[in-house]
Amino acid sequence: MSILITGAAGFIGSHLVDTLLLANESIIGIDSFNNYYSPSIKENNLKEAKNNSNFKLITGSILDTHLLDTIFKNNTITTIIHLAAYAGVRPSIENPDIYYETNITGTKNILECAKKYQCKRVLVASSSSVYGNNKKIPFSETDPVDNPISPYAATKKMSEIMCYNYHYLYNLDIACLRFFTVYGPRQRPEMAIHKFCNMIRHNQPIPVYNHGKCLRDYTYIDDIINGVVNILKSPNLSFDIINLGESATISTNDLILLLEKELNTKASITYLDSQQGDVEQTFADITLAKTKYNYDPKFPLETGLKQFVSWYQSLNHFA
Ligand SMILES: NC(=O)c1ccc[n+]([C@@H]2O[C@H](COP(=O)([O-])OP(=O)(O)OC[C@H]3O[C@@H](n4cnc5c(N)ncnc54)[C@H](O)[C@@H]3O)[C@@H](O)[C@H]2O)c1
């Protein structure tokens, strides 16, 4: 019996692969190794996993229904963790087609396989971006999310709706995981924190949108992985949409101050107006995750940033 992880070579997927292999699970990973960011980074993410005989990697797309059918026919897959997606808000405005195709049709393909091959449990990555510019904080799963402000957010909201439908029609246990800005080792290079570190290192001015006033709930990768694993194993899951955040929020300006301290270098900053698609704030109410799924985030930003910077400084470019 295996767990299928889509987007296995990505930031969150590769950490999940490593953690579940440590727990002696048998894992099948699928990833298209697309060039949203360098595929060699993704190859590197799976360097250790590839040596583990409990791990099978399939290079291919969740848009290839023939490939998916072959994978499900040849393996006994009881559980799916569906992370494959085009992530990132701003590029989704430039190129909505690839977002709609991958994030909506791709998710539909995975749910169809879950139905056809009777996988009882499916976890699907959603995003805090579905909350749009909601004013009420912290964001709770019961808040209205009918006003996405980017194609990316719209695709994530649509995924949640499809998940409910498959749960209702086919009695699948499904969790939609609303991740709040995840960071840590292997973080995608275009995301704030990793991108800011690169710019500080190269003495480049950091473009800071909305004059640094955007507020984000940054969540450390180990907390996210513990949350996902708890939900994966929980006897309580039927259908839930679940916030996974740190439940704390910080402005971009204050984040940069913390990074300057950790890197012991002053950043140069270009202040800009806000960008289309960027939400003003994110802040997770994590009561549901805590009470029903024993989620217990342990890395406040100051601690997590130390871990991130220590990983960042161990990369080859510092050797
Ligand atoms: N990182 C965050 O802060 C964050 C926040 C909210 C939601 N999410 C969601 O979590 C999931 C994982 O995010 P991540 O940061 O690890 O992103 P990532 O880009 O590092 O990982 C996604 C992986 O999916 C793969 N992929 C894309 N299209 C594919 C396809 N058609 N077939 C197979 N594989 C495909 C990519 O190659 C990539 O390796 C995504 O669904 C993302 O939208 C992430």
274-301 tens-digit pLDDT: 999 999 999 999 999 999 999 999 999 9
> Has residue 227 been placed in a domain?
yes
pLDDT tier at 319, thresholds 50, 70, 90: very low
**Is 34 domain-assigned?**
yes
The band of 251, judged by pLDDT with boundaries at 50, 70 and 90, is: very high
Residue 243 falls inside a structural domain: yes
**C-alpha–C-alpha distance, residues 177 and 174, integer Å:** 10
Number of domains in the chain: 1
In a domain, 171, yes or no: yes
pLDDT digits (tens, 9 = 90+) for 64-88: 999 999 999 999 999 999 999 999 9
Work out which ligand 1 atom sits closest to the CA atom of 12: 16
Classify residue 269: in a domain, yes or no: no
The enclosing domain of 43 has a CATH number of 3.40.50.720
Q: Distance (Å, rounded) from C-alpha 256 to C-alpha 298?
A: 22
Domain that holds residue 163: 2-183+219-248+282-298
The Cα–Cα gap between 281 and 215 comes to 4
Please compute the mean of the pLDDT values over residues 21-49 and round it to a whole number: 98
Q: How far apart are CA 16 and CA 37, in angstroms?
A: 19
- Indicate the pTM of the whole model: 0.98
Residue 174 host element (H or E): strand 173-179
Q: How far is it, in rounded angstroms, from Cα 62 to Cα 65?
A: 7
> For residue 226, is it within any domain?
yes
pLDDT of residue 318: 53
Q: What is the pLDDT of residue 232?
A: 98
| Domain-embedded: residue 261 | no
Residue from 4, 5, 11 to probe ligand 1 pocket by mutation (most atoms less than 8 Å from CB): 11
Tell whether 35 is covered by a domain: yes
Residue range 155-208, pLDDT digits in tens: 999 999 999 999 999 999 999 999 999 999 999 999 999 999 999 999 999 999
What is residue 54's DSSP assignment? T
Catalytic residue at 131? no
Pocket test for ligand 1, best of 5, 30, 31 (most atoms within 8 A of CB): 31
- The answer to whether 211 and 278 are in contact (CB under 8 A) is no
Mean pLDDT (whole number) for 223-240: 98
C-alpha distance across the termini of the chain, in Å: 42
Q: Which residues of 155-189 are buried (b: 16+ CB within 10 A; e: fewer)?
A: bbbbbbebbeebbeeeebbbbbbbbbbbbbbbbbe
